[in-house]
Amino acid sequence: MAQEGRTRKGKFITFEGSEGCGKSTQSRMLYRYLKKKGYDVVFLREPGGVKISEKIRGILLDNRNKTMSSACETLLYMAARAEVVERLIRPSLKAGKIVVCDRFMDSTLVYQGYGLGVNMHYIKAIGEFVSAGIKPDLTILLDLAVKKGLKHRQAAKDRIEQRPLSYHLLVRRGYLSLARREPKRIKTVRVQEHKSLTQGIIRGLVDSLLSIT
Please tell me the total count of domains within the chain.
Answer: 1
pLDDT at 115 over 80: yes
Residue 4, pLDDT > 90, answer no
pLDDT greater at residue 47 or residue 4:
47
Which residue type, as a one-letter code, is found at position 179? Answer: A
Which residues, other chains included, contact 112 with Cβ-Cβ below 8 Å and sequence gap of 6+? 70, 73, 74, 77, 118, 123
Q: Which of 144, 83, 78 is nearest to 107 (CA)?
A: 78
Residue range(s) defining the domain that contains residue 69: 11-210
Residue 6: inside a domain: no
Q: Is position 103 within any domain?
A: yes
**Distance of alpha carbon 193 from alpha carbon 198, whole angstroms:** 8
pTM: 0.93
CATH number at residue 179: 3.40.50.300
pLDDT at position 195: 97
Residue 5 domain flag = no
pLDDT tens for 199-213 read 999 999 999 999 854
**What would the mean pLDDT of 103-131 be, rounded to a whole number?**
98
Mean pLDDT score of the chain: 93
Give me the torsion for CA of 139, 143, 147, 151, rounded to 10°. -70
Q: Which pLDDT score is estimated for 152?
A: 72
